Amino acid sequence: MLKLPADFFEPIGTERQQALRGIRLAPFRQRALAIALDGLLIIAIVAAFDAVDIADRSISLSFGGPVELEGAFGVVVSTAYFTLATYLGNGRTIGKYISGIRVVSLVNERISFWHCLDRALGYALSSVVAGLGFVQYFSRPNHQTIHDRLAHTVVVCAPRNGNRAT
């Protein structure tokens, strides 16, 4: 019989993980809502740059002509957004805040800039092959997706009413 992951964090080893024992993991619906809200915000940011046309999205290379950066611009904006928002929000982007969830490090008490960058870059890996990295939520211990495992993080419930997750 298939054993589904528990809805509460189960530590695998370290002292930091022991401190998180029993914390409620974020449900898939809340995680999906958070990424959808953040995605809409990123689309709005990129659209604002398009509307004002202040971003020259091409560069000239010394060995060739101009290279269009249209797609790369969105990747840079989303990577910067997810890295900086998660870091400055101590595990919360705007979407995660609205959804009542937070990313916590399995290594440190406060999520580091490098963990946030790893997570942001890991979103690309989670998206490859029709989003199967996100679907791992349903089969991996502690509901960790590819980007969670890459950055040594989990996503937990953290209500907006001031009760903070560890």
- 20 vs 59, residue with greater confidence: 20
Greater pLDDT, 98 or 20: 98
CB 25 within 8 Å of CB 157: yes
pLDDT tens column, 101-152: 999 999 999 999 999 999 999 888 887 777 788 888 888 888 888 899 899 9
* pLDDT at residue 166 in the model: 52
Question: Which residues are within 8 A (CB) of 121 and not within 5 positions of it... i.e. 6 or more apart?
Answer: 79, 147, 150
**Residue 19 or 66, more confident:** 19
Which residue reads 């870091």 in tokens? 87
